[in-house]
Copies of this chain bind each other. A is one copy, B any other.
Amino acid sequence: MTTGKKPLIINAFEMGSPGHLSPGLWKHPDDRSPEKKDIEYWINLAKLLEKGKFNAVFIADTLGGYDVYNGPRNLDAVATSGAQWPIHEPSLFVPAMAAVTKNLAFGVTFSTISEAPYLLTRRLATLDHLTKGRVGWNIVTSYLDSAARNTLGGEELPPHDERYLRAEEYLQVAYKLFLSSWSDDAVVLDRKSGVFNDPKKIREINHIGKYFNVPGPNIVQPTPQRLPLILQAGASSSGKDYAARNAEVVFLVSLEPENLAIEIASIKDLAREKYGREEGSIKFIQLLTTVIGDTLEEAEAKYKEYQSYGDKEGAQALFSGWSGFDIGKFGYDEELVYSESNAIRSFAARFTKPVVGEDNQPKKTRDYFANSITVGGTGPVIWGTAEQVADQIESWVDISKVDGFNFAYAIAPGTIEDVVNKLIPVLRKRGLVWDDYPKEGVTFREQVFGTEGEDPSFLKPSHPAHKLRWRAGVSKEEFEKSLAQ
């Protein structure tokens, strides 16, 4: 058994679309992906996850379709296969789920590509109020031209590194609006004197930067967490740097725990050495899809059955969108390690996904990729009995020191039902997950970092935004002096 000291972070990984990471599996008779447009899907999911004492539902998003494959601007494959198409707006699921839960948290993806940071801050702040502090912001910069084209007046996507520079300034604006424009004690609510908010405790932020000019103040009063939990998926080097500086939870995708250990260590080093962030101030979670049976044979048969529903065209469309490279330009038997594209060549060399019933040292052909990502996307799939899956999870934790997992579905929500009903009880017996939430009405940050300490719902002192918070009892002049230091 692993130490059992810290419970693993257990999230469901979802999206407001069918075929999130398992394109084609909506055809399975048990799959309910087409119902994701319905409020009942999300209400039932939230109740299921709270029953399983999950930390959160983590909702992915993109603002455009995967139209790179056989493209550009070709949506045929995703439309036909339902591979992340259509895509509904994720933040709107949250209030419906919050209405039927007390402790489940919500990691919601919002892109910095086009929405005014003042408006996004208002949406996030409203969500933090409505959920009583159960919201996290998964910050993404958008990687699809289709997103840029439709939200930036027809423009193409800005270059990757510039997107991160812009995202960094975007986040600075959000920090200031959340933390530096209202003091903790600005809302007075004194019925006798008639003071709702003390205007001396509200100030403009007057941000003027390269990309944004936002005077403020924030239009929403201080929220339960003061700032939503900051989540980020940092795969590229700019992404890693961004995560090392800002993220409290980093979401990673590795195919082996040994690689995951390296990824985690590199971000931890960067966070400590470049940004002076304290040990333990970033948690790491890994993508995982599980297929559980009563016997190993049953699990294998189930996995094979799932694969049989996979849509290879949809998978190739997702692959082409993720990599930015149209895999349709290859022949089916051509090996991608010989591609002229550096990115594709290095991806193909690194990517080795064991798939039940297949050669574990396969040729990295277009066909191989099309097949291997139809279940669980580019993340690992673990199959077996609940005990066997728990063994492998323990091994992943032992080797990588990962803090938790985003459980993706093969079929929605059946895969997650299996996790709740079959896997979680085994993990609980082994002391790997908590018996219950630490308290009723726990905030997302408390769930992740614990309920101890002076202000467990707020950022750790070494986080760069920690000092931006205008605290109770501090005058505007004192606060502005402290900001200038």
Contact = CB atoms under 8 A, between A and B. Distances in A.
Interface in A422-451: none
A150 B216 contact: yes
A484 interface: no
A95 B152 CA distance: 28
Contacts of A18: 196
A76 to B, nearest CB: 4
Interface stretch (A115-123, A248-256, A394-402, A465-473): A115-123
A-side interface size class: 35 or more
A123 B81 contact: no
The 3 lowest CB-CB distance pairs between A and B, nearest first, are A82-B196, A154-B213, A95-B96
A115 B122 CA distance: 13
Interface string A175-201: 000000000000101010011111100
A204 interface: yes
A199 B87 contact: no
Contacts of A204: 73
A143 interface: no
Contacts of A187: 34
Nearest to A214: B150
Interface stretch (A124-132, A164-172, A265-273, A284-292): A124-132
A39 interface: yes
Given A92-B123, A153-B212, 18 more contacts: A75-B217, A80-B198, A81-B196, A82-B197, A88-B125, A92-B126, A94-B95, A95-B99, A96-B99, A114-B119, A116-B150, A119-B151, A149-B215, A153-B213, A153-B214, A154-B208, A154-B215, A194-B311
Contact of A115 (B34, B73, B119, B195): B119
A409 to B, nearest CB: 16
20 contacts: A16-B126, A26-B196, A37-B130, A38-B130, A64-B219, A75-B202, A79-B197, A82-B196, A86-B219, A89-B220, A92-B94, A92-B95, A95-B95, A95-B99, A99-B99, A116-B150, A118-B150, A149-B215, A150-B219, A154-B213
A99 B26 CA distance: 25
A93 B91 CA distance: 11
B79 A202 contact: yes
Q: How many copies of the shown chain assemble into the complex?
A: 2
Nearest to A37: B129
Nearest to A36: B129
A219 B63 CA distance: 8
A65 interface: yes
Contacts of A45: none
B194 A24 contact: yes
A269 B153 CA distance: 36
A140 interface: no
Nearest to A222: B86
A87 B220 contact: yes
B86 A197 contact: yes
A217 B75 CA distance: 10
Nearest to A224: B37
A27 interface: yes
A406 interface: no
Contacts of A202: 75, 79
A299 interface: no
Nearest to A188: B80
A357 interface: no
